[in-house]
Amino acid sequence: MTNKRNFDVLHDGTINKSVGFTKSEREVLGLQGLLPHSIASQDLQVSRVMASIRRKGFDIERYILLSSLQDRNEKLFYRVVIDHIEEIMPLIYTPTVGEACKEFSQIFRAPKGFYITPDDKGEITKILDNWPEKDIRVIVVTDGQRILGLGDLGANGMGIPIGKLALYTACAGILPHQCLPVMLDVGTNNGEILEDVLYLGYPKKRLQGQVYLDLVDEFVQAVQQKYPRALIQFEDFLTPNAYGLLNKYKNQILCFNDDIQGTATVALAGVYASSRITNRSFADLKIMFLGAGSAATGIADLMVKALEAEGLTTTEARKRLWFVDIEGLVVASRSDLMEHNLPYAHKHARLNFLEAIDSIRPHVLIGATGAPGTFTEEIVARMADINDRPVIFALSNPTSKAECTAEQAYTWSQGRAVFTSGSPFKPVHYEGNVFRPGQGNNAYVFPGLGLGAIMSDASIIPDELFLEAAFTLSQLVTIQDISEGALYPRLTEIRAISLEIAVAVAEKAYELGIAGNQRPKDLRTYIEEYMFDPRY
């Protein structure tokens, strides 16, 4: 029971239950006269919130409502998210979070998270003392330079860490007070934002080069000192920085990059599951990527590890994976490639996208471009010409950035596409069939992965843990899911899914000898008993 009383209770979102306080609780906490007479169950409160959400005319209004609810009644917020996950997730994360980030300074209501600017250089460890919670286990950090497919949003990108951590709690039960959203507010090169008088961020051009890297390193080292058991999730960094930071820290500290490794894990799980529809062995697949940035290359890198586990050599595995970017097929003769593209630059003639499909004849097409409509009718039809069941992944988000829609994929392939996307699409009716395109949402993986890592007190997150998570997720796809064309389980099962992934990841951490604690006799119960329960 809290020591707080009166309005201090009602103004503390971590303990407030509003009209859910019982008569005896109202007496003990000094709430008599401060609340209406009626006592409402949490279920009734959930119904009231959902009615309010559905009355709103725009998703951004629904986002603001939910954000305010999270501030004033944390447990009710998470009950709403968990009980109505398919309806609420698109409101607190993609696609609505993209709009919320663009309007972050305009819709700002109450501070959430921790901001670090270049003015804090040399003081980061000290100012972290201002954060009230000391037992932090998960940190999501961004510098706002590549928010979803929207580009450089500066400090407005804080909506991403806030949203991701809400999913950590809702989907995997990470305790809310153990979560810390961080914005490395190092400026922005977005002129429109800098000219906005309402912009709340550091109003200068973006910090770059060694001074930028030094600030990031100071933050990372400060976390090791203040929160030595915390997992750091890097989010929405520009590709060169994303890879540079991941490569620097992944073998030193407990961290991962969700855009690179989380996306890769979800995509790999989807490809594993697609083999149950196409009846083609994973080891025999040829896969083509449209887009050669951090997300696409991260998927390929993990697929190389997965193919090696199937018995292929590294060279053989890479030859199964092909890339097309804005300049055409990624081939060895090109001189404009970035370092992370070079392992996939095969000896081949230079071709455009359609020519590359004709020549390579891929079984799986994965889009991670941020460029809407790049999977045209001609492209999808050509994939359907060379495959009985063409596998089409349109992973770019938000929805407005998808390479094609679900309806387009099914229509242009005469209902034969095995389709998934990064943002949600409604079921599609085509010639008497109903297809439910499962969303390849990173929320299937990162919450459970993080839960497994922190419960085993892992020191690092090697590739083996991502492979374990991908395989576990693919095995949770049911016969019913497959019959509906879905490559992922229903989001309504996300808490159970996260638990299964957490157990598998923790088991692998113990097996690899990277766990920092002794394995409990009943690992599943140990993890399950930790998970946050938002019920009053």
Q: Which residues are known to be catalytic? A: 93, 164
For residue 409, give the nearest of 431, 380, 450 by alpha carbon. Answer: 380
Q: Could you give the count of Cα atoms lying within 13 Å of 286 in the half-sphere of its Cβ?
A: 14
Report d(CA 89, CA 9) in Å as an integer: 28
Q: Could you give the count of Cα atoms lying within 13 Å of 419 in the half-sphere of its Cβ?
A: 32
- What does the angle CA 229 – CA 143 – CA 245 come to, to the nearest 5 degrees? 60
Q: List the end-to-end C-alpha distance of the chain, in Å, as a whole number.
A: 13
Cβ-Cβ contacts under 8 Å for 521 (sequence gap 6 or more): none
DSSP-assigned letters across all residues of 267-303: HHHHHHHHHHHH---GGG--EEEE--SHHHHHHHHHH
Helix 159-172 crosses helix 494-512 at what angle (to 10 degrees)? 90
Adjacency order of strands within the sheet including 328-329? 328-329, 321-325, 287-290, 364-367, 391-394, 418-421
For residue 286, give the nearest of 369, 386, 377, 353 by alpha carbon. Answer: 386
CB 181 within 8 A of CB 162: yes
For residue 499, give the nearest of 528, 467, 520 by alpha carbon. Answer: 528
SS3 content of the chain, % helix, strand, coil (to 5): 50, 10, 40
